[in-house]
Structures are given as C-alpha cells and as structure tokens.
Structure 1
Amino acid sequence: MTELVVLCGTSHDGTERTIARMRELDPGLAVLHHDLRHLAQGRVHRRFRTGNRDEHTVLELAHGCVSCTIREDVLPTLAQLAGSVSRVVLHLDPRLEPEPVCWALGSVLFEPGGDTEPCLVTDLVDLRGVVTVLDPDSWLTDATGDATLPERGLSTLPEDERTVAQLAVGQAEFADVIVTTRALQGDDVADRRTAAVLDRLAPTAPRLLPSGGDHRLFCDGVGDESRRGVPGGVHDPLLRGTPPLDATDGVRTLLFSARRPFHPDRLHEAIDTLLDGVVRSRGRIWLATRPAAVLWLESAGGGMRIGHAGDWLDGADDQAWAEAGDQRRALAALAWHPRWGDRAQDLVVLCHDADPDEIDAVLRDALLSDAEIAAGEAAWAGLPDPFGWAHDEPCDDPVRNDPTVGIEREGES
C-alpha cells in the first residue's frame, strides 16, 4: 500500500530542505502541495513533484475555503496516486494545522469514480504520520504571542481569526517527528527553553535536522505512543507519553484536577491567568450552570477557545454509555464519584513564564465554595454565565446564556 506522510511548518526554507532530504532518501517520492495564498479569490495553486517532473496547476474553486480544497482536490488526487507510487508526502500550506487535515483524510467519504464505492483516503493509503518543521529562532515567540494570522500576513480569509500561536502550537503538538532548521544549543538559554517546551508539548516526537535526517523523516521507527495522524478525542488522556513534570529553565507543566464545578463568572475572571506566560492549556471543564455538559478548553499563547464537547456519562442513557467506547467507560468507572459521577475538572497547563502554583490557586478560587455547593443545583442554575455555548478569549463582547450559539472543535463538525 502507498505510504502517506503529512509535512507541515511555517519555515519555507526548512520545509524545502526537508523535502530535498526526503527525495534523496527515496528518489521515487511524490510530493503534493496546495498553495492557499489566493484561496480568498477562489484559486489554489497545486504543485506535484516526482522524479524529474515538477507540475504546476491552477485550480478554480466554486467556494474559496480550505474544506473545499481538501474535498475537491486533495482527497481525489491522493486516491489517484494510491498504488501508483510507493510513498507520497502531502506538504501542507504553512497556514494549515495538521490535525484537521488528518481528520479529513480518515473521516471524509468521497467517491473515487467509476464503480468504486465511496471510501476514505486512509482506506487507500497508509497514513504513516506527521512531520513538522520549525525554526528555533522564532518558534517559541510565535507559540506564546497573541498576533492573529491576518495581522502577520499569513491569511487573507475574512473569517480566519486564528492566532499565530494556535498554528505554531498545533503544528508541533500533533507531530510524530519534529525537524528543527538548526540544532538546539545546550549552552543557549533560549534554545534550552524551546527544547524544554517541546519535551513537554510533543514528548513522543524525535527531533531531527533536515540535513542529517534519516528514515524517521517518513515516520519509520517512531514509538508505539505516536499519534500517526490520528486525532485525539475529548476524553483521551491529556498527557501523551512521559513528559517531564519537574521544572526545567522555568518551563513546567501544571496538572489541575478538581471534583466540584466552576463558578462561571469567577472562571471567566480567572481565564487571563491561562493566557500570560503559558504556551498551552487544554482539558475538560464543568460549569455549575451546565451540569450535563462537557466543555473543552484549549489555549495557545494569547488566544483561547472554550466550547461544548458533548455530555458527561452521569445521568446518561444506555445508548450514550454504549457509544462512549471502552476506554472512556473504564476511566469513568474508576473515578466515579457518588454525587458527581464522572463530572470533573481536568486541565493541563504548560507554563514557560508563569508560576504554575499561582495558576492553580486562581483556578481553585474559581470553584464553587462549600456554601455554594450546599445551596444545591437549583441555585447554581441562576448564576451569571458569560460563556454561552462557545467562547473565545480575548473577549470583547461575551455571549451570555445563548443556547443558539453553535460550537465546532477544530477538525470536527
């Protein structure tokens, strides 16, 4: 079966050097790239390289969006290549995060044509994993800032409000292999901090140089805990592999857990502590005003998204339990609380320039007090709730208690 590797990164020089090394290792390699700079005008520039061929094609789309590009050209092109070459590298536009693309490869049905039944790309090719290229001179600054992609000239789509930090963190966190454009120096403080962050953000991903890269550039020989392009679920463990939990050069991971709900207003006031000096925070939260709802919190640098991500199993019917999956049912049963069931707060916060103990204290102050717990759920329902069903930070005009507001997690619909 044809092998597929997804390659991403914002460093043009770094990704091209990595592709050159890949082609040295495998002269028959096919490289597919879609340039999205003119996507807002409904045009995508496709480049296909294999052997001595270097073909450029301009695609005209009815709707200028990433999902149309993937459905209308990426998936069919990969299907056509399946079986005709031994290995394909899907080189993503620098504006793309790999997780939603990999989700589409393994979840979006398309019709190959002829008498073939609709199928998934991952039925036709072996998705080996994701390789991310990053520049140590700028990556940590990007991963901890609050600039948006349009502000940096990385997107012209009117509704694209992602931050550069979301892109930088998303590309590194989902990687099975990380390629750095230069070696990280142990005697350089900035390099040590970048290495410490990567050790905790992507602990299972080996780090290589493009010039010295071996067959791990094709995700060969990576560990059993590697994602290999498979997106995670809301109820998956929040820590992958065995990242260091102690502090290194000021970089430390906070594990926050609690078995009582957050007061919505106090949590909203506490959110800023997760946006300053923090590379990444992610996890499940439980608001007193939404006893049934699992909310997913995810931040990168100075931007955050909180949204509805399903329901707790406490009080759920038999069908919900059956659909939950073996791992989630087992974890819920092991931690079952006599009053709260599986409801809990579970957050992981990766700090590079903040005090994790202070963050822990602020978050604990945002939980309901003993007196508020004693007042009961009927009283909780009347608490002010700034979050609605979807919430972004920074927050200029928060939606308050509007159940009509929808929520999509990145990579899901």
Structure 2
Amino acid sequence: MTELVVLCGTVPDAVERTVARMRELDPDVVVLHHELHDLDRGRVRRRYRDRELDERTVLELAHGCVTCTIREDVLPTLAALAGKVRRIVLHLDPRLEPEPVCWTLGSVPVEPNGTAADSRSDPPGQPRPVTDLVDLRGVVTVLDPDTWLDDATGDATLPERGLSTLPEDERTVAQLAVGQVEFADVIVTTRSTGPAEVDRTTAVLDRLAPMAPRQVAERGDDRLFCAGLPQQARRGVPSDVHESLLRGTPPLDAVNGVRTLLFSARRPFHPDRLHDAISSLLDGVVRARGRFWLATRPEAVLWLESAGGGLQIGHVGEWLDGADEQAWEQVSDQRRALAALGWHPRWGDRAQDLVVLCHEADPDEIDARLREALLTDAEVAAGEDAWSALPDPFGWAHDEPCSNPEPVGGDLAARDEREGEN
C-alpha cells in the first residue's frame, strides 16, 4: 500500500530543506503541495514533484476556502495516486494545522479512482476515505528552535504575520505553532537543541510532544518518513475529547521554569468566576486543554483549548450521566469503561480535567484560581434550580480575548469539524 506522510511547518525554507532531504533518502517519493496565498481570490497553486517531474498548476476554485481545496483537489489527487506510487509526502501550506487535515483524510469519502464523491446523488463504486486507500504513516513538523517558543507564546494573528489573507481568519500564530507540534509524530529542527536544563524550548517540546523523535533537517534519516515510531504514536489519528489528556509519559517535574499542571475536580464551575479565572491561562502558558462542565448546563461537555495569548471554548457533546441506553451504545468502549471506572455517586461521569503547560506562569497560582472558580459547598447545596440562575458569560462558543459569545441555544460546532473554520 502507498505510504503517506503529512509534512507541515511555518518556516518555508526549513520545510523545503526537509523536502530535499526526503528526496535524497527516496528519489521516487512524490511530493504534493498546495500553496494557499491567493486563496481569497479563489486560486490555489498546486506543485507536484517526483523523480521526473516538477509540475506547477494554478487551480480555480468555485469557493475560496481550505475545505474546498482539500475536498476538491487534495483528496482526489491522493486517491488517484494510491497504489501507483510507493510513497507520497503531502506538504501542507504553512497556515494549516495537521489535525483537521488528517481528520478529513480519514473521514471524507472519495472515489478510489480519484473522483470526488458527490453526496447529492448515488455515485458509482464505493467511495472511501483516503486513509482506506493509503497508509497514513504520520505527521512531520518542522520548526526553528530560535523562534518557535516566541511564536508559541505570543498573541499575533496569522494576518498580522502575513500567513493568511482571509479577512475572517482570526487564528493566532501561537495556535498554529502549538497545534503543528502537538500533533507531530516526528519533529524536525533547523539545528540541534540543547538539554532541557539549559534550553527552555527543549523543555517545552519534551512535554508538548514527548513521543516525537527529533531530527535536524539536513541530517534526517528514515524517521522523516515516520519509520520506527513508538507503538503509541498517533500516526495522524485525531484525538477524542474523552481520551487521556497526556499522551506518552511527559515529565511532570519543573525544569528550567517549565512545568505541567494537572487540574482535576468533580463539582461544577461557577461560570462567572471561571470566566475571570481563565485570564490566568493567557500569560506565561504555552498550552492549556481539557474538558469541563458548568453549573448552568450540567448536561454539556465543554472543551477548552489555549495557545499563547488566545483561548477557545466550545461545546463538544453530552455527559453520559442521565443519558439513555442508546447514547451509551453509541460511544466508544474506551469512553464507557472510563465513565464506569470514574463514576461519582452525585456527578456521574462529569469532571473537570485540564492540563496546563507553563513556561513562565506559576502552576500553583493557576490551580488556586481554578479551584476558587468551583462551586462552594453552600452553592452546591443550593441545587440545580439555583445554579440555572447563575450569570453565564460563555454562550456555546467563546474566545479569549473576549468577544461577544454566541447565545445559549445557538448553533453548536463539533470540534472534529474545525477544518471548516479555515
């Protein structure tokens, strides 16, 4: 089966050096790249390289968006190459995060001959996701250790950095930098990094992507093709919101000012106090992520994800407590087992579980702020009728820095469909 590697990074020169090294290691590899600089004008520049060709094509899309590019050209092209070449490198545009792309590769059906499936009719053949046609080996992320940590902890937006021309693209460079590394199976650096005791970037990478081996771009070996990865490697499979928040065994002790906070609690958050407390996650923090629940909406699983100076909160499903038998049957075996093991006589499977990776902030202070945001004993005793009257500034979707939230009861966007935001 044709092997597929997804390659990403925000430093074009370093990514190109990595491509050159990959082509040295395997001269027959096919490198497919879609450059999205003119996406706002409905144009995408596709580059196809193999041993014989270096072909550039300008594509005119009916709808200028990332989702259209992937569905209308990337997926059909990969499907058409499947079984005809040994290895493909899908080189992503610098502004793309690999997780939503990999979700699309594994979820959106396409005709095996490369024709995009049309959901409006009954297409011939058996449309299947690209990952049924190729072997997705994993994700390789390229970074410059001299600049990456500043990018990962800042608050500049992609348009401000010249990484996006789409007016509605309000993502931050930190979101991109952290997302690319956190989802990586292999990390490629522009130079060797020092030990964590003297290199803060190394200490952060050890905790953000503990299982990803590191290579220097020009000296990379077969691990550039995701060979020899640990058994627990992600290999391009997106996370489930109910999985363990810690992948692998990242160090939990403090090194060079870098430390991971594991926050867990069972009782609900007071929405107003939590809204005040989340400001502590935006300064001196590389990454915060996890699931939580609010007293005002006890049925809702909410997901929090921050990178640098930006934070997003969204609704990602329902807790199993109070759910009917059909809901239990529809979730994964792993989630059912975890819910049963951690079942609380009052709260059921509801829980606050957050992981906060700090590089300058004091984790103990963050822990204290979050615990102060939980309901007090008196508030818990007042019951759910009293909770429903509490002020709730979040809505169903919420960004920090704070913008007007969607009203409660508005449209709910599933986390696994985030590629539509781009």
Q: TM-score, normalised by structure 2?
A: 0.95
Equivalent in the alignment of 2:57: 57
Equivalent in the alignment of 2:150: 141
Distance 1:283 1:395 in 2: 19
1:48 and 2:48 aligned: yes
Matches within 5 A, 1:180-259: 180-186=189-195, 189=198, 192-259=199-266
Aligned residues: 410
1:409 and 2:415 aligned: yes
Distance 2:319 2:408 in 1: 21
1:371 and 2:378 aligned: yes
Measured after TM superposition, the shift of residue 410 of structure 1 is 5.7
Following TM superposition, the consecutive aligned residue runs of length 4 or more in structure 1 with deviations greater than 6 angstroms are none
Equivalent in the alignment of 1:104: 104
1:6 and 2:6 aligned: yes
Equivalent in the alignment of 1:359: 366
Measured after TM superposition, the shift of residue 405 of structure 1 is 4.1
Do the aligned residues in 2 keep the contact of 1:99 with 1:411 (CA within 8 Å)? Answer: no
* 1:200-259 CA distance string (max 9 Å, x none): 000010011112111010000000111000000110100000000000100000000001
Identity %: 74
* 1:364-395 CA distance string (max 9 Å, x none): 00000000001001100000000111101000
SS at structure 1 position matched to 2:3: strand
Distance 1:181 1:313 in 2: 46
SS at structure 2 position matched to 1:211: helix
Match of 2:310 among 275, 299, 303: 303
- Seen in structure 2, the aligned counterparts of structure 1 residues 187 and 333 have a Cα distance that, compared at 3 Å, is closer
1:174 and 2:183 aligned: yes
Equivalent in the alignment of 2:118: none
1:321 and 2:328 aligned: yes
Equivalent in the alignment of 2:274: 267
Distance 2:393 2:179 in 1: 27
Distance 1:396 1:89 in 2: 39
* RMSD across aligned positions (CA): 1.3
Measured after TM superposition, the shift of residue 109 of structure 1 is 1.1
Unaligned ranges ≥5, structure 1: none
Measured after TM superposition, the shift of residue 118 of structure 1 is 1.1
1:151 and 2:160 aligned: yes
- Seen in structure 2, the aligned counterparts of structure 1 residues 269 and 77 have a Cα distance that, compared at 3 Å, is same
SS at structure 2 position matched to 1:45: strand
Distance 1:411 1:178 in 2: 25
Do the aligned residues in 1 keep the contact of 2:223 with 2:229 (CA within 8 Å)? Answer: yes
Do the aligned residues in 2 keep the contact of 1:388 with 1:405 (CA within 8 Å)? Answer: no
1:84 and 2:87 aligned: no
Do the aligned residues in 2 keep the contact of 1:101 with 1:411 (CA within 8 Å)? Answer: no
Distance 1:366 1:187 in 2: 33
Matches within 5 A, 1:154-165: 154-165=163-174
* 1:121-154 CA distance string (max 9 Å, x none): 1111000000000000110000000111011111
Measured after TM superposition, the shift of residue 409 of structure 1 is 2.1
Q: Between 207-216 and 163-172, report the one with greater CA deviation.
A: 207-216
SS at structure 2 position matched to 1:150: helix
Do the aligned residues in 1 keep the contact of 2:301 with 2:317 (CA within 8 Å)? Answer: yes
Unaligned ranges ≥5, structure 2: 116-122
- Seen in structure 2, the aligned counterparts of structure 1 residues 3 and 72 have a Cα distance that, compared at 3 Å, is same
Do the aligned residues in 2 keep the contact of 1:106 with 1:122 (CA within 8 Å)? Answer: yes
Instruction: Give the partner amino acid of 2:51.
Output: G
Distance 1:205 1:325 in 2: 26
1:280 and 2:309 aligned: no
Distance 1:260 1:44 in 2: 49
Distance 1:228 1:128 in 2: 6
Instruction: Give the partner amino acid of 1:76.
Output: P
